[in-house]
């Protein structure tokens, strides 16, 4: 059986995440203890006790989610789940690369800590909104002539997140206001992720990624920006460098794995965000939790 592991991104955090695993699974405990040694703050206390407002802050949410997903990966390994493909939604791509053996847990965590700090520095410079009910080609027409807004996340065929300057996102929402079959929901995020407004963060991460030793992957990696599987390390690195300002092509990623023969998807991490998305994309193969 060909399996794929899927790793969630921001939005999957909640107070208490990973606590049960930490208490019951020595391998998961070792992961979080290592993370606490690498981080410059008490990551375990934040994950277990909050407060939620701080845990949701990008600079803290990203290392918490990366670490929690790595803890769940230990459970997946103990459960005997072999995997030939990995993918992660936005931030989750870093845990996917760790799962594929591209870098060590601690090297990945150092990158995620820098990523969270760099992206947090852009707080207040833009917004994001989910558009429900239109496909990519249909939504494109509503963005025409409006600068500073892009389609950031193509989550399902008809769930697309737009990202950019607040006035630009609001203008798109205004154009869609008369469409009773379309819903626009502003997201509770602090910046315009996966848009050109993340240029400064991307430049910071480009330098950081160059400092980390990368290894040939043991599984196919499906990149956010291409939605295609690859084992070519140069391509994986180039896609990771593009990821902060590039699109999250999640729909394409799931379809590509399905077409490649993946028979089961496993969401590895806290929550059920990806399982819900996958249900809207395809009922076969199923997406299960760890």
Query: Which residue numbers are catalytic?
Result: 90, 194
Give 121's contacts (C-beta < 8 A, 6+ positions apart).
200, 201
What SS3 state is found at 217? coil
Q: Which helix (H) or strand (E) holds 276?
A: helix 273-281
Q: Tokens representing 232?
A: 């070519």
* Cα distance from N-terminal residue to C-terminal residue, the chain: 17
- For residue 156, report the phi and psi dihedrals to the nearest 5 degrees: -135, -175
Residue 145's contacts (CB-CB under 8 Å, 6 or more residues apart) are none
Q: Residue 169 to residues 26, 133, 281: CA-CA distances in angstroms?
A: 46, 17, 25
Q: Is the peptide bond before 285 cis (omega within 30 degrees of 0)?
A: yes
CB-based contact 69:268 (threshold 8 Å):
yes
Indicate the pairing of strand 287-289 with strand 264-267: parallel
Please provide the size of the chain in residues: 290
Q: Which residue do the tokens 């379309």 mark? A: 182
């Amino acid at each position: 059986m060909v399996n794929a592991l899927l790793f969630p991104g921001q939005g999957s955090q909640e107070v208490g995440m990973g606590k049960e695993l930490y208490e019951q699974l020595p391998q998961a405990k070792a992961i979080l203890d290592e993370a606490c040694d690498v981080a410059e703050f008490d990551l375990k206390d934040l994950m277990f006790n909050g407060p939620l407002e701080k845990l949701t802050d990008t600079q803290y949410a990203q290392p918490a989610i990366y670490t929690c997903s790595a803890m769940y990966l230990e459970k997946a390994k103990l459960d005997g789940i072999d995997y030939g493909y990995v993918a992660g939604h936005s931030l989750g791509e870093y845990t996917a690369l760790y799962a594929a053996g591209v870098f060590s847990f601690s090297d990945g965590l150092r990158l995620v800590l820098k990523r969270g700090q760099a992206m947090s520095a852009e707080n207040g410079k833009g917004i994001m909104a989910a558009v429900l009910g239109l496909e990519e080609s249909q939504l494109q027409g509503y963005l025409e002539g409006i600068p500073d807004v892009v389609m950031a996340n193509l989550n399902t065929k008809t769930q697309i997140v737009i990202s950019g300057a607040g006035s630009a996102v609001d203008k798109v929402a205004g154009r869609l206001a008369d469409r009773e079959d379309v819903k626009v929901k502003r997201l509770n995020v602090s910046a315009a992720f996966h848009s050109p407004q993340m240029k400064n963060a991307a430049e910071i991460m480009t330098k950081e990624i160059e400092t980390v030793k990368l290894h040939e992957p043991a599984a196919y990696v499906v990149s956010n920006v291409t939605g295609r599987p690859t084992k070519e390390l140069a391509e994986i690195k180039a896609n990771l460098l593009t990821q902060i300002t590039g699109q999250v092509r999640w729909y394409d990623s799931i379809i590509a794995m399905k077409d490649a023969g993946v028979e089961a998807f496993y969401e590895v991490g806290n929550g059920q965000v990806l399982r819900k998305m996958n249900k809207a994309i395809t009922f076969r193969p199923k997406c299960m939790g760890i």
